[in-house]
């Protein structure tokens, strides 16, 4: 009987698991269309140029270098593409030199493979590039060099240069708005911080420290998103520097980098606020009046954070206007951050207010205020 009941349950669980994996896989495929097209064009284009234009026979390493240099990322970074292109070319050149001098044998193969892996580790901390360049080194050793070509055994090094150049050209010329990725990442981080502020407001209002824990966990989980945000901003900055078509956006992207730095600080401040509120709620350190006032202030923080989220999502003329609106709301909020005006008299409650003063300064700077102007908005203690 137990087996009969468990079998349908296992089948239902398997169906849910399969459906979930299919949904995730389809979503991942949709997001990967552009990078997949870039890699396809890079590999086929580099091979075609080396074969049809330069007359190289089977220029496999042109395609390999292009694919490794471009990689599989949402937004290829110019410096990374350049570094990997040079690394691939040097790896093939070292392999060709060692094969030319030492001949094709087990010792040469071992040395070429080791040097290629070490070069990959120098270029990148991730394991993927080391594996790719290791496979490339094995192909250098296993595939006989084209002696009859114009450059002899070093034709493959020229093929690698072609592959890297094609990857660089695709990175520069692929139509994309350099602002899109930083805006999406920044808005995602600010929206998560808004939810965390709402959680801590409810935690204070309901004397439920578990909600504050949820807020703290959410803020701690934002670090990978913040890292993605920094990567997206750096990629956009490189594109606006090297690509003439997007140079007009360089001032906006530079400003987005400053906003991202301040949002990072605000998230760190939010973690400290959430931790302190957990302790404050657990020790019942606030009067009823203080609870209501502090919860209302936290709700206002969430509204201001929402205004900031709406502002960063507007790359056009409305950006400045929305930022000014967020700045005005944060200034009005900052002027109320004094323990006495909130009816708070306990040490733990006062500590929360002091931490909120730090948070509002971070948010004001994210909205465009200078540090001095943000500090001046706070009442004297």
Instruction: Specify whether 237 is located in the same domain as 103.
Output: no
| 339-348 tens-digit pLDDT | 998 888 888 8
Instruction: Specify whether 168 is located in the same domain as 249.
Output: no
1 falls within a domain: no
| 282-318 tens-digit pLDDT | 888 788 888 899 999 999 999 998 888 888 877 767 7
Structure-token pair, residue 83: 């570094």
- What's the total number of domains in the chain? 2
Cβ neighbors of 157 (< 8 A, separation 6 or more) are 89, 92, 93, 96, 151
Last residue of a domain, one of 173, 206, 225: 173
Residue 32 binned pLDDT confidence (cut-offs 50, 70, 90):
confident
202 falls within a domain: yes
Quote the CA–CA distance of 185 and 232 in Å, as a whole number: 8
User: Residue 69 sits in which domain range?
Assistant: 6-173
Residue 22 half-sphere exposure toward CB, CA atoms < 13 A = 6
CATH of the domain at 359: 1.20.58
Residue 149 has what pLDDT?
61
280 falls within a domain: yes
Residue 151 binned pLDDT confidence (cut-offs 50, 70, 90):
low
Residue 268 has what pLDDT?
92
Q: What burial class does residue 347 get, using C-beta atoms within 10 Å of its C-beta: 0-12 exposed, 13-18 middle, 19+ buried? A: exposed
Nearest Cα neighbor of 178 from 259, 241, 227 is 241
Radius of gyration of the chain (CA): 28
Residue 269 has what pLDDT?
92
Kindly state the average pLDDT of the residues 243-272: 84
Nearest Cα neighbor of 267 from 307, 221, 203, 213 is 221
Kindly state the average pLDDT of the residues 18-30: 82
Kindly state the average pLDDT of the residues 220-227: 87
Residue 270 has what pLDDT?
92
| 45-84 tens-digit pLDDT | 888 998 888 888 888 888 888 888 777 665 556 777 777 7
Between the CA of residue 26 and those of 72, 74, 184, 265, 347, what are the distances in Å?
17, 16, 21, 35, 53
pTM of the model: 0.67
């Amino acid at each position: 009987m137990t087996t009969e009941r468990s079998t349908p349950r296992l089948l239902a669980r398997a169906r849910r698991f399969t459906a979930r994996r299919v949904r995730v896989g389809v979503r991942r495929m949709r997001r990967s269309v552009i990078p997949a097209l870039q890699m396809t064009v890079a590999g086929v284009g580099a091979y075609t140029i080396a074969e049809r234009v330069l007359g190289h026979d089977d220029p496999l390493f042109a395609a390999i270098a292009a694919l490794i240099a471009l990689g599989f990322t949402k937004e290829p970074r110019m410096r990374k593409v350049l570094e990997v292109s040079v690394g691939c070319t040097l790896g093939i050149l070292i392999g060709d030199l060692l094969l030319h001098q030492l001949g094709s044998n087990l010792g040469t193969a071992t040395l070429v493979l080791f040097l290629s892996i070490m070069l990959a580790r120098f270029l990148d901390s991730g394991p993927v590039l080391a594996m790719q360049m290791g496979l490339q080194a094995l192909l250098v050793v296993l595939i006989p060099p084209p002696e009859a070509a114009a450059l002899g055994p070093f034709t493959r090094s020229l093929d690698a240069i072609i592959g890297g150049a094609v990857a660089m050209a695709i990175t520069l010329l692929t139509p994309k708005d350099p602002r899109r990725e930083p805006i999406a990442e920044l808005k995602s981080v600010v929206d998560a911080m808004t939810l965390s502020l709402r959680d801590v407001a409810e935690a204070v209002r309901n004397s439920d420290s578990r909600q504050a824990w949820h807020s703290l966990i959410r803020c701690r989980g934002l670090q990978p998103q913040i890292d993605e945000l920094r990567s997206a901003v750096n990629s956009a900055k490189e594109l606006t520097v090297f690509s003439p078509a997007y140079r007009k956006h360089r001032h906006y992207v530079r400003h987005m980098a400053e906003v991202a730095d301040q949002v990072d600080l605000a998230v760190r401040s939010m973690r400290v606020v959430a931790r302190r509120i957990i302790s404050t709620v657990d020790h019942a350190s606030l009067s009823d009046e203080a609870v209501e006032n502090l919860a209302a202030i936290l709700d206002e923080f969430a509204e201001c954070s929402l205004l900031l989220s709406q502002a960063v999502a507007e790359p056009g003329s409305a950006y400045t206007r929305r930022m000014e609106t967020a700045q005005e709301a944060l200034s009005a909020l900052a002027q109320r951050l004094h323990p006495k005006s909130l009816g708070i008299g306990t040490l733990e409650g006062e500590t929360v207010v002091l931490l909120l003063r730090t948070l509002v300064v971070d948010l004001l700077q994210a909205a465009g205020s200078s540090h001095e102007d943000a500090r001046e908005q706070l009442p004297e203690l």
